[in-house]
């Protein structure tokens, strides 16, 4: 009796039964210092490949270990000796080293850059019972070979639809929804256009519940949800409430976003759909989706520049947790229209202090305008210390910082040792008066959006040394500060501005307007302030 390590289509035990007859399954085997590769040219199938294993230090391949009487029973199915060679290799079974036969593709039968068929990959997925969860998930993310012409046709029509037809089609869609529709209660019609709700209910932690064909639909549906938010708020405000009420949109976008961990950038979406090993180099669509997303950012920037029309200096916010991508973003805006770039500390991945330093040095070296640091650990998850800020202040293209750090002591330390031309402004309305007393140069404010005169008068009084006058004004604003940050920012400030008749009380998901209880407190606060 011999042991055989199956890592490819023979992980389908039904296929093994047809090929060798009786066998026993020993369990999961691991071939260390090798990687799984789909690069063995499929005989008689142009453009398709089968599985192979390639030496790769530190990697591993999982498979099923079979026991049966003679290895030669598999030879004709594995193309030995003309397509595959076989060797006795040491594999691990439950941590124990064991010799087993392993087939390797011959060098002249290897072709890189191709993909397996859906049917072939399904054979590998049949081995789920004997594979680790992580390894099985990696198989789900293997890209399969599709009809390229048809695939490109779908991709092109998708792009054209969103670039040219979206608003017209959306308007028509609204016109078809009756005022008293029960669309949202009809299980058979829970869909936005042709995207079925049942396909878009993610299982916790992965998208493995989707077939490879459905992943493309999922991607389209997610972007549909993101774009519909933008378009509705911009062009269809009067229809938005009806659409929200009469369709499955709220549930749909919630499901889509949760599957992508609430990251809306195209790369995160593609990684949620295709897995962490997805390569944007092989996909046209991701590049076009990035451009589509950036289109909206640029539109907002251009609108702002035109509206301001040179009346006051403009600072643009360009930040992120990928240094190279932030630098690329500098070239996407007409930065001749701004005086500085405000760039938030990298979020989510929680860099070390040296990481912060190197990140900002790289930005400053590349930026065509001065960089303003922005430290806001309550939002990003990691504080940039006073020591790091002072190191960065020596760079000729780093002009200052918006400091919203955790404590006054940090602010005082920065103010004590900063260069004379290094700007330090506050990001905390609640304590800015005290910070100005310590030497701070001003504030980038939230509260000033609702109370521009009062807040500006308070700041000017403090900057001139009239702290008694500043305190009097600030005392009248203290309650509003509490309500502004009670739930989320900007829900609080938008609640104030809505009650003042300045804006509509609209936010994009995952943000939501202030709760009814908080909105009542905001109303009451405004009444007191106007009394």
Other C-beta atoms closer than 10 Å to the C-beta of 259 total 23
Q: What is the pLDDT of residues 364-375, one digit of tens each?
A: 999 999 999 999
Give the per-residue pLDDT at 469.
Answer: 95
List 105's β-bridge partners, or say none.
Answer: 84
Answer with the one of 140, 164, 189 that is the final residue of a domain: 140
Residue 304 counted as domain residue: no
Residue 487 counted as domain residue: yes
179: pLDDT strictly greater than 70 = no
Give the per-residue pLDDT at 409.
Answer: 93
What's the whole-number mean pLDDT along residues 476-483?
Answer: 94
Residue 246 counted as domain residue: yes
Q: What is the pLDDT of residues 206-262, one digit of tens each?
A: 445 445 555 554 555 555 555 555 444 444 455 555 545 544 444 545 544 554 444
Q: Are residues 231 and 330 in the same domain?
A: no
List Cβ neighbours of 510 (8 Å cut-off, separation of 6 or more): 257, 262
Q: Which tokens in the block code for residue 361? A: 């040095």
CA 379 to chain centre: 16
Q: Are residues 194 and 97 in the same domain?
A: no
Q: What is the pLDDT of residues 375-399, one digit of tens each?
A: 999 889 899 999 999 999 999 999 9
Q: Are residues 503 and 388 in the same domain?
A: yes
Percent of the chain with pLDDT over 90: 50
What is the set of active-site residues?
374, 402
Q: Are residues 272 and 350 in the same domain?
A: no
> What does the mean pLDDT of the chain come to?
79
Residue 9 counted as domain residue: yes
DSSP 514: P
Give the per-residue pLDDT at 338.
Answer: 93
Q: What is the pLDDT of residues 488-508, one digit of tens each?
A: 888 999 999 999 999 888 877
Of the candidate ranges 63-77, 193-207, 256-270, the one whose mean pLDDT is the lowest: 193-207
Task: Give the domain extent around 159.
Answer: 148-287
Give the per-residue pLDDT at 397.
Answer: 96
Of the candidate ranges 70-79, 137-146, 219-228, 400-409, the one whose mean pLDDT is the lowest: 219-228
What's the whole-number mean pLDDT along residues 143-160?
Answer: 51
List Cβ neighbours of 376 (8 Å cut-off, separation of 6 or more): 344, 345, 402, 404, 427
What's the whole-number mean pLDDT along residues 166-193?
Answer: 42
Give the per-residue pLDDT at 295.
Answer: 58
Give the per-residue pLDDT at 299.
Answer: 72
Q: Are residues 451 and 322 in the same domain?
A: yes
Residue 292 counted as domain residue: no
428: pLDDT strictly greater than 80 = yes
Q: Are residues 256 and 336 in the same domain?
A: no
Residue 294 counted as domain residue: no
195: pLDDT strictly greater than 50 = no
Of the candidate ranges 194-203, 464-473, 521-530, the one whose mean pLDDT is the lowest: 194-203
Answer with the one of 100, 122, 140 that is the final residue of a domain: 140
Q: Are residues 125 and 41 in the same domain?
A: yes
Q: Are residues 356 and 490 in the same domain?
A: yes
Q: Which of 63, 64, 66 is nearest to 23 (CA)?
A: 66
d(CA 36, CA 412): 56
Does the pTM of the predicted model rise above 0.85?
no
Number of domains in the chain: 3
Residue 300 counted as domain residue: no
CATH number, domain of 22, equals 3.10.490.10
Answer with the one of 140, 174, 202 that is the final residue of a domain: 140
Q: What is the pLDDT of residues 292-324, one digit of tens each?
A: 456 567 778 888 888 898 899 999 999 998 998
Q: Are residues 342 and 218 in the same domain?
A: no
Q: Are residues 371 and 469 in the same domain?
A: yes
Task: Compute, in degrees rounded to 10, the torsion defined by CA atoms 218, 222, 224, 230.
Answer: 180
Q: Torsion-angle region of residue 320: left (phi > 0), alpha (psi -120 to 50) or beta?
A: left
Q: Are residues 458 and 330 in the same domain?
A: yes
Residue 299 counted as domain residue: no
Give the per-residue pLDDT at 134.
Answer: 84
Question: How sure is the predictor about 26, in pLDDT bands with cuts at 50, 70 and 90?
Answer: very high
List Cβ neighbours of 253 (8 Å cut-off, separation of 6 or more): 225, 226, 229, 509
Q: Are residues 503 and 423 in the same domain?
A: yes
CATH number, domain of 480, equals 3.20.20.70
Q: Which tokens in the block code for residue 513? A: 């307007």
Give the per-residue pLDDT at 405.
Answer: 85
Q: What is the pLDDT of residues 432-456, one digit of tens each?
A: 999 999 999 999 999 999 999 999 9
């Amino acid at each position: 009796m011999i042991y055989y390590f199956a890592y490819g289509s023979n992980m389908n035990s039904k296929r093994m039964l047809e090929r060798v007859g009786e066998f026993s399954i020993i369990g999961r085997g691991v071939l260390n210092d090798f990687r799984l590769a789909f690069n063995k040219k499929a005989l008689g199938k142009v453009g398709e490949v089968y599985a192979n294993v390639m030496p790769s230090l530190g990697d591993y391949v999982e498979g099923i270990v079979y026991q049966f009487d003679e290895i030669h029973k598999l030879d004709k199915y594995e193309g030995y000796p003309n397509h595959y060679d076989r060797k006795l290799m040491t594999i691990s079974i439950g941590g124990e080293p064991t010799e087993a036969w392993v087939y390797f593709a011959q060098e002249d039968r290897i072709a890189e850059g191709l993909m397996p068929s859906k049917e072939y990959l399904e054979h590998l997925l049949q081995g789920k019972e004997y594979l680790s969860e992580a390894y099985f998930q990696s198989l789900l993310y293997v890209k399969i070979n599709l009809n390229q012409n048809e695939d490109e046709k779908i991709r092109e029509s998708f792009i054209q639809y969103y670039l040219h037809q979206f608003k017209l089609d959306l308007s028509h869609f609204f016109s078809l929804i009756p005022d008293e529709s029960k669309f949202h209660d009809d299980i058979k019609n829970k869909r936005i256009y042709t995207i079925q709700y049942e396909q878009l209910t993610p299982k916790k932690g992965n998208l493995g519940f989707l077939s490879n064909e459905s992943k493309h639909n999922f991607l389209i549906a997610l972007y549909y949800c993101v774009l519909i938010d933008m378009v509705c708020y911009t062009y269809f405000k009067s229809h938005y409430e009806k659409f929200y009420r009469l369709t499955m949109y709220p549930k749909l976008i919630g499901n889509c976003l949760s599957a992508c961990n609430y990251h809306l950038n195209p790369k995160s979406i593609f990684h949620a759909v295709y897995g962490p090993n997805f390569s944007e180099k092989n996909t046209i669509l991701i590049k076009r989706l990035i451009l589509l997303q950036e289109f909206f950012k640029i539109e907002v920037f251009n609108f702002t520049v035109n509206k301001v029309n040179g009346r006051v200096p403009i600072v643009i916010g360009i930040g992120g947790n990928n240094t190279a991508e932030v630098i690329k973003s500098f070239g996407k805006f007409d930065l001749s229209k701004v005086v500085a770039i405000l760039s938030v500390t990298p979020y989510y991945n929680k860099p070390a202090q040296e990481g912060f330093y190197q990140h900002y040095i790289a930005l400053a070296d590349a930026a065509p305008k001065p960089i303003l640091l922005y430290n806001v650990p309550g939002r990003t998850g990691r504080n940039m210390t006073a020591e790091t800020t002072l190191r960065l202040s020596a760079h000729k293209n780093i002009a200052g910082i918006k400091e919203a750090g955790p404590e006054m002591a940090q602010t005082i330390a920065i103010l004590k040792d900063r260069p004379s031309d290094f700007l330090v402004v506050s990001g905390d309305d609640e304590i800015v008066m005290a910070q100005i007393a310590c030497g701070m140069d001003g504030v980038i404010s939230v509260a000033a959006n609702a109370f521009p005169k009062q807040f500006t008068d308070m700041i000017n009084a403090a900057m001139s040394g009239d702290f008694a006058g500043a305190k009097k004004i600030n005392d009248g604003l203290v309650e509003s500060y509490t309500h502004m940050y009670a739930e989320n920012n900007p829900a609080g400030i938008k609640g104030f501005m809505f009650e003042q008749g300045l804006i509509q009380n609209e936010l994009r998901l995952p943000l939501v307007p202030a709760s009814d209880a908080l909105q009542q407190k905001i109303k009451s606060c405004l009444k007191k302030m106007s009394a």
